[in-house]
Amino acid sequence: MEKKLTAQGPKDRKSYTVTLPIEWVKKQGLDKTRSVELDVAGGKVIISAHKELKDRVLIDGEDYSNGIIKVLQGLYRAGVNEIRLNFTDNKIIEDILDIIEKKLIGYEILEQKKDYMIIKDITRESEEDFKVIFRRIFLLLLELSESGDLVQTNALCRNIKKLINYCQRILVKKGHAEFTKTSLYYLVLDRLEKLKDEFNWLLQITIPAKKVPDKLKDVNDLMRKAYELFYKYDAKKYSTYEYKTYLLKNEIKIEDKVDKATMHLHNLARILNSLYGDIFMLKFDER
């Protein structure tokens, strides 16, 4: 839908207005007494009938005693800035401290009493943060894929997890500069997290055994090519390397010996193949 702008105000302080479709206004129950939410995301202006994200939430810890990690991580990714968490068993405190320290950048406990605590975000996310940290996640994954030490592997996995959570939080709260690609970037981050898990599980098996699977080198090479294509897209190279991931996952799938290491290798190749598809959708129109 195309709309014309209307100039208003004096020449040196002129602003512009645009009318909203009356069908949408009626559907949202709006009139001149109501306000709307306006957000700028790159080259787009997004108008909402109401603020969609809750800034503060109240959680009863007893309801989620066995799943507090999913609750805190979910609220963090959803962009919630303040959580009041009620509890009766203070054993939950150690779990919460561990989750915040290892997985949730910017969350801190600002108030703690015998039966509740208040967790609050003390940072300001930005689009520039997203660009830098997204690249950093890719680089840490490349480092992880070639790790030969379990201490390093565990540290890299914790760091990657925190950074992925942070980037997904930025996407939910602020969107991406290319607004129509926001959901694709969220999906890519999910793929990168799955790759992190598969690399970790594979290395937990192979490092103690001091036996590197033959096809891990192929997986690592295609992981590096994915990174290079993301930051310097080339259609011909894309076609070559995407097809290699397809062949690789099928080669691993038909191997006679199927052990845990082979299973994780196949998962890596399969997720990589999907990642290449995501890279195409994000980058094919760049020149």
How many other β-carbons are positioned within 10 Å of the β-carbon of residue 241? 21
Task: Judge whether 271 lies within some domain.
Answer: yes
Task: Judge whether 1 lies within some domain.
Answer: no
DSSP 285: T
Instruction: Work out the average pLDDT over 246-253.
Output: 93
Tokens of residue 6, six digits: 């209307």
Number of compact structural domains in the chain: 3
The pLDDT assigned to 23 comes to 80
C-alpha closest to that of 144 among 249, 242, 246, 224: 224
Summarize pLDDT for 116-172 with one digit per residue, the tens.
999 999 887 776 789 999 999 999 999 999 999 999 999 999 989 999 999 999 998
Do the beta carbons of residue 220 and residue 276 sit within 8 Å?
no
Confidence category of residue 94, pLDDT binned at 50, 70, 90: confident
User: Same domain for 109 and 147?
Assistant: no
User: Same domain for 160 and 87?
Assistant: no
pLDDT greater at residue 66 or residue 136? 136
User: Same domain for 145 and 261?
Assistant: yes
56's CB contacts (< 8 A; 6+ apart) are 80, 81, 82, 83, 84
Average pLDDT score over the chain: 87
Check which CATH number belongs to the domain holding 93 and give it: 3.30.110
Name the pairing type of β-strands 107-112 and 6-8.
unpaired
Helices (H), 175-256: 182-209, 216-231, 235-253
Q: Strand pairing partners for 84?
A: 58, 118
pLDDT greater at residue 258 or residue 60? 60
Instruction: Work out the average pLDDT over 208-227.
Output: 93
**Whether the model pTM is above 0.85:** no
Task: Judge whether 10 lies within some domain.
Answer: yes
pLDDT greater at residue 73 or residue 254? 73
User: Same domain for 273 and 139?
Assistant: yes
User: Same domain for 87 and 191?
Assistant: no
| pLDDT at residue 245 greater than cutoff 90 | yes
**HSE-CB for 60 with a 13 A CA cutoff:** 2
What is the span of the domain harbouring residue 11? Answer: 6-48
